[in-house]
Amino acid sequence: MKNSHDDIENLLRSATEVPFTEGQKQRILRAAIALKEEPRRRPRPFVRSWLAGVGGVAAALILAVSIWRVGVPGMTGHTNRLGGQTTASKTTGSNSVVPIEPGSAIGLQTAPLQVTEIGLASKTPGGPEDEVVATIYNGGSTPISKKDVVGVLGFGSGQTLGAGVMPTSDWLTFVNGPDTPLQPGQRTQWTFVPVTAPKDSKGNLIETPQLVFYDNAVMVASKANMTWQLADVTTTVTGVSVVPYGTNGQTTSVQISVQNAGSVPVDLNRVVAVVWFTPPNTATDFLRPNVTRFLTHVKTVGIQAILQPGAKETLTFTLTGAADKTLMNDVPHVVFANTNP
Amino acid sequence: MPGEFDPHNQVGLLELWMEQYGTDVTNFAFSYVKNYHQAQDIAQDVFLRAFLKADSFRGESTVKTWLLSITANRCRDFLRSWHARHEVYELEDEIPRAGPDNTERAVLERLEQDRVWKVVFELPLKYREVLVLFYFRDLSTKEISETLGVSDEAVRTRLHRGRLLVKERLESEPHEELT
pLDDT tens per residue, range A103-123:
899 999 999 999 988 889 888
Supply the DSSP symbol for A103: T
Nearest to A29 among B15, B114, B120 (CB): B15
pLDDT band at A249, cuts 50/70/90? low
- DSSP 3-state of B150: coil
CB proximity B23 to A under 8 Å: yes
pLDDT band at A216, cuts 50/70/90? very high
* CA-wise closest residue to A32 among B72, B45, B64, B84: B45
Q: Exposed, middle or buried by CB within 10 Å (0-12, 13-18, 19+), for A296?
A: buried
Between CA B164 and CA B167, with CA B165 as vertex, the angle to 5 degrees is 65
Supply the DSSP symbol for A33: H
| Chain A partners within 8 Å of B48 (Cβ) | 28, 31-32, 35, 54, 56
| Chain B partners within 8 Å of A17 (Cβ) | 23, 27, 136
CB proximity B95 to A under 8 Å: no
Q: Could you tell me the CA-to-CA distances from B134 to A273, B28, B31 in Å, in that order?
A: 42, 11, 13
pLDDT at A51 over 60: no
Mean pLDDT (whole number) for A311-340: 82
pLDDT at A297 over 90: no
Predicted pLDDT at A83: 26
Predicted pLDDT at A164: 65
Query: Å from B151 to nearest chain A CA?
Result: 22
Query: Å from B2 to nearest chain A CA?
Result: 17
pLDDT at A320 over 80: no
Q: Are B42 and A5 a contacting pair at CB < 8 A?
A: no
Q: Could you tell me the CA-to-CA distances from A308 to A28, A248, A263, A270, A272 in Å, in that order?
A: 32, 41, 8, 14, 17
* CA-wise closest residue to B78 among A69, A68, A74, A313: A74
pTM of the model: 0.50
CB proximity B163 to A under 8 Å: yes
Predicted pLDDT at A127: 80
CB proximity A124 to B under 8 Å: no
> Higher model confidence: residue B11 or residue A191?
A191
Q: Could you tell me the CA-to-CA distances from B63 to A26, A29, B143 in Å, in that order?
A: 20, 18, 11
* CA-wise closest residue to B35 among B70, B83, B69, B68: B83
Mean pLDDT (whole number) for B50-55: 82
Predicted pLDDT at B99: 39
Nearest to A15 among B45, B136, B177 (CB): B136
Between CA A278 and CA B144, with CA A75 as vertex, the angle to 5 degrees is 170
CB A13 within 8 A of CB B135: yes
**Portion of chain B with pLDDT greater than 90, in percent:** 43
pLDDT band at A160, cuts 50/70/90? low
Q: pLDDT digit string (tens) for B70-113?
A: 999 989 888 876 544 444 443 333 333 333 345 666 777 777 77
Nearest to A12 among B52, B116, B171 (CB): B116
The number of C-alpha atoms within 13 Å of A87 and in the hemisphere containing its C-beta is 10
Q: Are A32 and B10 a contacting pair at CB < 8 A?
A: yes
Nearest to A18 among B14, B48, B111 (CB): B111
Predicted pLDDT at B162: 94
Choosing among B31, B47, B131, B172, which should be mutated to test the A contact, i.e. which has the most A CBs within 10 A? B47
Predicted pLDDT at B163: 93
Q: pLDDT digit string (tens) for A120-158?
A: 988 877 788 888 999 999 999 999 998 899 999 988 875
Q: Could you tell me the CA-to-CA distances from A63 to A10, A146, A315, B44 in Å, in that order?
A: 53, 26, 14, 28
User: For the stretch A137-148, what's the b/e string if a residue is b when 16 or more beta carbons lie within 10 angstroms of its beta carbon?
Assistant: bbebeeebebeb
pLDDT band at B174, cuts 50/70/90? low
